[in-house]
Amino acid sequence: MTSPEPSKPAASVERVLRALADPSRLAIVERLTAGPLSVSTLAAPLGITLTAVAQHLQVLEDCGLVRTEKVGRVRSCQLLPGGFSILEQWIRDRRSPVERRLDRLGDFLAES
């Protein structure tokens, strides 16, 4: 009988932003927007080792932004669009109050 996988900590805005703050991880995410790629394809233009790419992918996986899958000898990666929902909600929560203040300012200036 196999033991259950240890649960991963829930993604937080801070963890996702920290993951995306690294230039190599951001480049990986940008390249994956075009579709799934192999780890070796991702590594080629970055000028870093496959081991370093794998470490970056692990950080992105832990945040729920990327999923990797090994088929035969090839490990492929793809974006998980739902992983960005925590950032979308965080931005939405901050945008609404700012927009309301700007609307009030616009109304005030229109009255002047």
3-state SS record for the chain? CCCCCCCCCCCCHHHHHHHHHCHHHHHHHHHHCCCCEEHHHHHHHHCCCHHHHHHHHHHHHHCCCEEEEEECCEEEEEECHHHHHHHHHHHHHHHHHHHHHHHHHHHHHHHC
The answer to whether the Cα torsion of 18, 23, 25, 27 is positive or negative is positive
Contact 48, 28 (CB under 8 A): no
Task: Give domain status of residue 4, yes or no.
Answer: no
How many distinct structural domains can be found in the chain? 1
Task: Give domain status of residue 60, yes or no.
Answer: yes
Range of the domain at 63: 13-111
Mean pLDDT by 10 residues, the chain (112 residues): 46 91 96 94 90 95 94 92 90 81 81 80
Question: What CATH number corresponds to the domain at position 100?
Answer: 1.10.10.10
Task: Give domain status of residue 98, yes or no.
Answer: yes
Length of the chain: 112
Task: Give domain status of residue 2, yes or no.
Answer: no
Task: Give domain status of residue 72, yes or no.
Answer: yes
Task: Give domain status of residue 34, yes or no.
Answer: yes
pTM listed for this prediction: 0.76
Task: Give domain status of residue 8, yes or no.
Answer: no
Task: Give domain status of residue 7, yes or no.
Answer: no
pLDDT at 8: 52
